[in-house]
Amino acid sequence: MANTRSAEKRNRQSEKRRTSNVQVRTGLKSAVKKAREAIAHGDPATKPAVKAAVRTLDRAASKGIIHKNAAARRISRLAKAAAKGAQPAS
């Protein structure tokens, strides 16, 4: 338990930030999952799904919710998978 008023305020602030970050992370996971499923099934909605996932990854990285290199890595893997899925089967 916090002993000082400033520590109590810090606890309130960190809890507020934590709940916000959890929401963003959950949305991020959902967007990436939708994109991966669209790629796997060869849906025509693959491109918009990947675009939405990239956008959410970039936004999370800019807010500091995930590291910028982690976002770049995930975007790269998504783009690579999308490009591979877009190629005709040979």
Domain ranges (residues) in the chain: 5-86
pTM of the model: 0.83
Per-residue tokens: 32: 């990436």
Give the length of the chain: 90
**How is domain 5-86 classified at the CATH fold level?**
Methane Monooxygenase Hydroxylase; Chain G, domain 1 (1.20.58)
Find the DSSP H helices in 1-45: 5-41
Q: How many CB atoms lie within 10 A of CB 12?
A: 11
Arithmetic mean of pLDDT over the chain = 93
In the prediction, which pLDDT does 89 show? 54
**pLDDT of 32-68, one tens digit each?**
999 999 999 988 899 999 999 999 999 999 999 999 9
- Residue 12: band (very low, low, confident or very high) from pLDDT cuts 50, 70, 90: very high
> What share of the chain has pLDDT > 90, as a percent?
86
